[in-house]
Structure 1
Amino acid sequence: MDSLWLEYAWTLLILIGLEGLLSADNALVLAVIAKHLPEDQKKRAINYGIIMAFAFRFAALFAISFIANVWQIQAIGAAYLLYLGLKHIIKARFGKENENIREEVEEEAAGKGFWPTVGKIALADLAFAIDSILAAVALALGLPDSPLDDFGGMDGGQFIVVVIGGIAGLILIKYAATWFVKLLDQRPALETTAYAIVAWVGVKLAVITLAHEDIGVLDHDFPHSTVWTLIFYGVLVAIALIGWFAPTNKSLEKEKL
């Protein structure tokens, strides 16, 4: 039983770290959306937007709990996570970063009143949350069943992990985003690392899909096996270490000099 909760705690820790890295840019965009408002309304707009976003996220989590074990949904989620992660990696490696994205968001938000801005913040957060929610579900579905009662179509313990991850994302956007922004400035490779982890989580969800009882390509118990667990977390830790120790732009510039 202790090992069960240890695995849950470890997964939750990974999820919170991933949420933090993914929320850094999201928080900046949310701040830009409210930038046109008077100073005394900016903070309120973001706070109200986050409250609305919490309701939206919980509704999304509640809905997904009933369909998380449907293999078609799992397959779509796996494909989306793989697409999202690989797209960002390829863009970071070969593409050019869109430096005007914040200006475009600001121009689009300019002129909107207080409540329309609040609504835009909430909807923007929900759009940003899709990747983290799917990643949370993928990580949770790979966990062994807990002794808790089911919620919707998910094991109760797995659902709690997803909910805590969703709440953590909003808390990090509100309170810790600045720290993560600074961290990404110091170690810019971590942003690509986060999306590499998203893609790897997509692989995990694909494995879960292939082991679904209605598919049967893989053994039903394989996603919970020791072998796959070691492979998954081994690769995940390797990705994280590579991202952490990757050379920064400053160090590369020094090498050129």
Structure 2
Amino acid sequence: MMSGILDNFSKFFDLHVLIATLSNPSNWMIILSLIILEGLLSSDNALVLAIMVKHLPKNQQRKALTYGIWGAYIFRFIAIGIGTYLMKIWWVKLIAAGYLIYMVWDYFRGTNKEDDDVNVAIKKGFWATVASVELMDISFSIDSVAAAFGVSSQVWVLFLGAVFGILAMRGVAKIFVTLIEKIPELETASYILIAIIGIKMLLGLINIEISNVIFFLILIAVFGVTIFIHKTKKNSSEHEYE
């Protein structure tokens, strides 16, 4: 087991693996899918983290968030290296698929503990706040990493998706938040995709594989239908007020 995990980590430092990953167009489709999922699932997370460091002096706020980003990258590096090996074990894959389906059920049930998490971090000192930001980043990462494992098993695909996804979350969080505010159905669509990923993992247990191209087309179709539903609802509501 340990040799398998170490072999996975060695792929992070293998230039040939990286080149092979980047030269495959279907991998870029999956990386883009992971970035979109990360951005939508974590759209409000960057704002939550901003609230957590708000009590610090301005020069310390950026520093605390930067430490948080590096913590998130290190966690992803470790989780992907270990997780891509463990996901080859059928019962681990079954647990991961069950967790994704639970996430979807929890979302539609309406559970939300973010406010409690933010309140815990308020009025702490710098390093205590950094620790809270690190823990929050890790908790945010668990859902995204679990979903990512259902999409690909290639370490560089997962890590590049995570790197760009985290940058998207921090850099354009307000854009994603605004997008979800304008089209609130997108949040639901992202959880529908998570359910599809969970089903994809379960199908993999009985040797039914969904290709990267088909998954990417499903992603486009889900968001396309979501935007169509939003416009239809918007038009019908406008007609009611006329």
- Indicate the TM-score class for this superposition, using the shorter chain for normalisation: 0.7 to 0.9
Of residues 93, 97, 102 in structure 2, which corresponds to 1:83?
Answer: 102
Work out whether 1:167 is the aligned partner of 2:157: no
Q: In proportion to residue count, which structure has more helix?
A: 2
CA contact (8 A) 1:49 1:118 kept: yes
Of residues 178, 202, 226 in structure 1, which corresponds to 2:198?
Answer: 202
Once superposed, what is the RMSD of the aligned Cα atoms? 2.6
Of residues 128, 145, 150 in structure 1, which corresponds to 2:140?
Answer: 128
* TM-score, structure 2 as length reference: 0.80
Q: Distance in 1 between matches of 2:220 and 2:210?
A: 18
Of residues 209, 227, 232 in structure 2, which corresponds to 1:223?
Answer: 209
Q: Distance in 1 between matches of 2:166 and 2:147?
A: 15
Q: Distance in 1 between matches of 2:47 and 2:157?
A: 26
> Aligned letter for 2:209?
P
Structure-2 change in CA distance of 1:253 and 1:114 (3 Å): farther
Of residues 220, 233, 238 in structure 2, which corresponds to 1:254?
Answer: 238
Amino-acid identity (%)? 34
CA contact (8 A) 2:38 2:144 kept: yes
- Summarize deviations over 1:150-204 as a string: whole Å, max 9, x none: xxxxxxxx11111111112221122121211111111111111111111111111
SS at match of 2:124: coil
Matches within 5 A, 1:1-257: 5-88=24-107, 90-91=108-109, 95=110, 101-102=114-115, 104-141=116-153, 158-211=154-207, 222-223=208-209, 230=214, 232-247=215-230, 253-257=237-241
Structure-2 change in CA distance of 1:73 and 1:179 (3 Å): same
Offset of residue 77 of structure 1: 0.7
Q: Distance in 1 between matches of 2:97 and 2:218?
A: 17
> Aligned letter for 1:177?
A
CA contact (8 A) 1:23 1:173 kept: yes
Q: Distance in 1 between matches of 2:80 and 2:50?
A: 25
SS at match of 1:139: coil
* TM-score, structure 1 as length reference: 0.76
CA contact (8 A) 1:86 1:195 kept: no
Unmatched 5+ stretches in structure 1: 142-157, 212-221
Q: Distance in 2 between matches of 1:245 and 1:117?
A: 42
Offset of residue 255 of structure 1: 4.1
Unmatched 5+ stretches in structure 2: 1-19
User: Which fold has the larger relative contact order, with Cα–Cα distance below 8 Å and residues 6 or more apart in sequence?
Assistant: 2
Q: Distance in 1 between matches of 2:103 and 2:60?
A: 34
Q: Distance in 2 between matches of 1:136 and 1:105?
A: 24
Q: Distance in 1 between matches of 2:203 and 2:145?
A: 18
Structure-2 change in CA distance of 1:159 and 1:115 (3 Å): same
Q: Distance in 1 between matches of 2:193 and 2:158?
A: 17
Q: Distance in 2 between matches of 1:241 and 1:86?
A: 23
Structure-2 change in CA distance of 1:250 and 1:39 (3 Å): farther
